Structure formats: C-alpha cells, structure tokens
Chain A
Amino acid sequence: MIDDPVLLNDWHVVAREGDLAKGSVAPTRLLGVDLVVWRGEDGIQVWDDLCVHRGAKLSGGRVRDGCIICPYHGWTYDSEGECVRIPAHPDQKPPPRAHTNVHPVKVAYGLVWTCLGTPAGEPPPYPEWDDSAYRNIPCGPYAFRALGPRVIENFLDVGHFPFVHAGYLGDPGHTEIDEYEAVITPTGVLARDIPIWQPDPDGTGKSAKVLYTYEALKPLTARFTKAQGEQRFTMIDIVTPVDGERSLAWAIMSMNYAFDVPAEKIVRFQDEVTAQDLPIVESQRPELLPLDLQAELHLRSDRTAIAYRRWLRQLGLRFGTS
C-alpha cells in the first residue's frame, strides 16, 4: 500500500456506476492495493481483493445470493465481508478471522468512490451535475503511465495548447499567454478568467477567444470552466492513483449549450485531446512532481502550476511528488 495519509483518507473513484450491473465483479487497484468491486443485493461493494484462506483474488469469483464466492475453494462472503460458508466443511462455523477488508462506498456523479483509510471530507463538489441548465457528458477513464500530480498539472496548463493541441485547443499563431493571477484559497487553487484564443473551443468547430477559470479541488482533482458570452463549458478531471506508476483519469464535461451536438462527438473530441496529452505527460521526468520551485523553470504563464505545487506542499502530499 502507498503510504500517503492525504490520499489514504481521501475518496477515490474506482468504477463507473453504470458499468456495474447487479451480479458483476471486477478487479481494480488503488494506491497499490488490489480491490474487488462488485454489486450484490445490498448495492456496490469495494473490498480488498483477497480471500484470507489462500490469498486468491475474489475478483475471479462470482456473485450469488447477495454473496461473493471465492473462485478457489468456494468460500462465500456476505455483503459485510464475513465468510458465511466453507463448502469443504459445510457444518463448521467459519472462523472469525475469515473476513475481508471492506471499504466505504459512495456514489456521486455516476462514479463509485471509495476510501482506504478514514474518510476525511467528501468527494469534490461538482454543482453542474445537478444543475438542469447543463448537459453532463462523462468521458474516460484515461489510463496514464504517469502519476497524478503530473496529470493534474497538465490539466491546469494553458501554455501547451498551441503546441500539443494545435488546431484543437490552441493555434501556433497565437502562443502568447496574457497576464493572469493564480491564488491559493482555503479549498484549493483558483486561476480566474485566463483569456485564450481557440480554433475550436468546444468541439463545435467555431473559433473564439474564451476565458478559462481553473480550480484545483483536491490534490488529484481539478476543474475548469470556459466562458464565452453566456456559454459555459466545464470539465472536471478526477485522477485515481492506481499505484506507484499508473493513474486513471475520470472526467465529466458539462455544457449549457450545443444540446444538439451528439455526446459521442464531444467525447471523441476529448478522447483525441487526451491522446495528444498522453505521450507528453508519460514522458515527463522526473516522474515525481518537484515541489521545490527551484527544480524546474517557471514563467508567468505557469502561475497556476506554481500555486498548485505550493498548495500540494502545504497539504503535505507525498505521493507523486518530490
């Protein structure tokens, strides 16, 4: 297990609720811990993916009568994680140690969240989800062979648009970034109204100058809103720290316009944008984001990244940083 108190006691996304039909079982991994996610009669469960008998992965098993059955010897665990049946000894009461670690579960924004430690706080706020003015479009999860702080910092970065996303989110003829401020607030980082010229800010095909407002809500969760007149395009990026090498980025886009554009088209656009970021972010060295600001070079256009690194240091985040 990756020992970072900040992340251990926080909520992380391990699945999409819609992917978990009743009776489904799936393996996943969070902070280096193998987990099984399954749905029985009593809702969605997230447990350590380990049968204490012989260490087999429960995710290879199946769900029956509201229980999960280990694939190896059929030890049967109820929704509390207690072994209630051992087929080789059907008349014997299973020993008290025959249970697995059960983790708390929350469902929010169509995502399944869990916490490996003692939950401090709630999943990040995302008011657009319940706002009827918006259409919500989930995308991802995007698998990165990179760690969360690098992924989030890239999400907060505006200077790379004309290069990595030329023709999509930026234009090589408009590379200059105007002055903007980024501040650390009691809840995270805020960089308001950064003007950006974009050839196609929202996948609808029309160029415009838009104002980006970025917020880091959690060490590994950030959002932005692009404003263009009354139009708002918001995206939240929630990064799951899979282990010491890999991350999964779950995203939701929310728009109060362009309701006639098919969701698939908007998702495809975002998939392409992420595919442009992926090789760059995976190539970044050191893999651990240096919180010492002397370690890399920072310009005026990097103010959000500077504030993000300072904030991570204040929080005491160890994972994915140096």
Chain B
Amino acid sequence: MATPDPVLVHDWHPLARVEDFGGGKVVASRLLGEDIVLWADGGVYHAWKDLCIHRGARLSLGKVKDHCLQCPYHGWTYNAAGTCVRIPAHPEQKPPARAVVSVYGCREAYGWVWGCLSQTPNELPVFPEWTSTDVRNFTMGPYAMEAGGPRIIENFLDLAHLPVVHEGILGVESRAEINRYRVEKTPDGVYASEIVVWQPDPDGSGQPAAAHHTYRVIRPLAAYLTKAAGTSVFTMMIVATPVDEARSKAWIVFSMKGADSTPSQQLYDWTERVFLQDKPVVQSQRPELLPLDLQAELHLNCDRTSIAYRQWLNELGVSFGTS
C-alpha cells in the first residue's frame, strides 16, 4: 500500500452498492490507494487485492464461475478463500502454494458492500434509524469527489457555510450569525449540540423552522446529523471512502420521521441538491490535505466543531488525507 494509515486500515469503508453485482458482475474499486476487486456469490461478498500473482493482471476484469473468480489473462481460478484451485495451462498440476490473493474483510450494510483492509476491523458505523419502523430511509451515492475524505467530513460538520452555500434552503444571508454552541471531544469522536439555525427549508418538506442540530463524528470518515425542525426529525450519516489521499467517494444514508405529506422523491431530490451545492466548493479547497496544525488555517468560534475534529484526528493519528 502506498500510504498505509494506521487508523483507517482498521475501519470499514463502503466500496460498492449491492445492485452493482447484478448478473454476476465483478466490480473494481480502490481504497486507501489500493486496487480492490469485489465479487459476489450466493449473497456472500468478497473483497480482494485486485491482482493475480501470476502476471499481475487485474482480477476485476475476470468473471465469476463455479463459485470462483477467474483471472482474465490465463484463467487462473481462485476459490472463495482466495486460493488458486486451477491453472488451465496445467490442469493436472496442483497450483503452487503462493498462488493466493490477499483477502480483505467484506460485508454488507445499508445496501452497500463495505471493505476493510485489516484483519482486526473496528465497528461498522451505525445508522440507528435503519431498523426503525416509523421512518422513511434513503441511500444516496456514491458521489465521486476530487477531495480528501477529511475535507468532506469537515464540510458536513460546518455551520457557517449554511447561509452562504445553501442560501434560501439551510440559511438566509441576513441571519448568518452563528451563536455559541456546545462541542465535546471524547475518545470515540466529536459531539456538537445546542445548535439552532433558522432555515427556510431545513429538510425538504418546505416548512421554514428553527432547526435544532446535533452532530456526531463516529469515525474519522463517518459523521451523523440529527436535525429536529417543527414536527419532523431528519437524520443523516455521511461516509467518505478514501480512494486516494485527494479523491473520495461520498455515501449518504438519511431518514425522515414525520413530514408524511412530503413525497419521498422530493426528500431525495432536496438532499441531493444540497450535497451538490457543496461539491464544487469542497473540491476547490487547498491544500487538499486537511491541515491538522491549527495554525495553518483560520478558526473562529463558529468553527469549534472542526477544531475538535482536527484535534481528534490528530490524537487518533490519522495521516491519510491530512497534513
């Protein structure tokens, strides 16, 4: 791996959607600078290093056959454990012991297939509403971003941009002031609360309200928001998959409790619209790597969540996508 990160290698990262595997499709992905092949067989997902040890061809160009993945170049055939069980050029010969692929952790959650490069994974980020019966759940993405994961998460936590980037939706220019709010940094993450922002359309239901926000950073590249506005509660988790240091994929799962008269498509479109307003600004940020040294950029009172986030990343020792 080009730049191993001591923290992120142990985290789960979404790599593909379940529907990407339709018709036995093999999926090429990339995580932390490492090329990965994903394939599925009988509802079981596999994430491997995307490399056949024979001549270095990409297994992701191959195909699934008889519960195995077959290399596109010389047909070397790997079973679900990643062991080569057949070399077509020498059908009688037992494949050499070194003919194995590196196998990574792989699992499914929220309709996404997640991978972990380490054998000792951390907990998967939990989106509690997923199993609730009184909410509507949605997933969105992945969105390819020319930006590092920490910049994406920090933008998700950012308050002062709401009346500027999302003017008329999540804030109004004439009421851009951010009041003092609470921020706590714990070993498990960052928690920001008591944030009240007046918003013209806080959740896509079109009802203006004072929106009460609570943010929680769950993992270095996963954060969660609860927003109570009027009679509805909107929650959202964003997960940034670190493709390379300055490239990511953003995944969103959100839920709506209440606002029953608002069509689901409208809620989905609203969330996507807001996200796409952020995208060009986040992609423009320089340096691409989030500076953990707090002297490097300017921080004001309204930025206390991002200060805590940067400090927490620093304490954890996250190096990928930071400087």
Contacts and interface: CB of A to CB of B under 8 A. Distances in A.
Interface of A: 34, 50, 52-57, 60, 70-74, 86-90, 92, 95, 97-98
Majority-rule SS of A interface residues: loop
A92 B286 CA distance: 25
A90 B160 CA distance: 12
Interface string B277-297: 000110011110000000001
Given A55-B287, A57-B286, A60-B280, A72 B297 contact: no
Interface stretch (B86-94, B161-169, B204-212): B161-169
Contacts of A54: 154, 158, 285, 297
B286 A74 contact: no
Interface stretch (B115-123, B172-180, B240-248, B268-276): B172-180
Given A89-B177, A89-B178, A73 B297 contact: no
Given A71-B164, A88-B177, 14 more contacts: A53-B300, A55-B285, A60-B280, A60-B281, A72-B164, A72-B281, A73-B158, A74-B163, A88-B160, A89-B178, A92-B300, A95-B298, A97-B298, A98-B298
Majority-rule SS of B interface residues: loop
Residue from A71, A90, A95 whose CB has the most chain B CB atoms within 10 Å: A71
Contact of A73 (B154, B161, B280, B286): B161
Contacts of A56: 281, 284-285
Contacts, number: 71
B283 to A, nearest CB: 9
Contacts of B161: 72-73
Interface in B214-265: none
B9 interface: no
B266 interface: no
B302 interface: yes
Interface string B292-323: 00000110111000000000000000000000
B173 A74 contact: yes
Contact of B300 (A34, A55, A71, A86): A86
B295 to A, nearest CB: 9
Contacts of B177: 87-90
Contacts of B287: 55
Residue from B173, B287, B298 whose CB has the most chain A CB atoms within 10 Å: B298
B38 interface: no
A56 B158 CA distance: 13
Interface of B: 154, 158-161, 163-165, 173, 176-178, 280-281, 284-287, 297-298, 300-302
Nearest to B301: A89
Contact of A72 (B165, B178, B298, B302): B165
B51 to A, nearest CB: 30
A70 B163 CA distance: 12
A36 to B, nearest CB: 11
9 contacts: A54-B154, A56-B281, A56-B285, A73-B164, A86-B300, A88-B160, A88-B177, A90-B177, A97-B298
Contacts of A86: 300
B165 A71 contact: yes
Nearest to B174: A87
Contact of B176 (A52, A53, A60, A87): A87
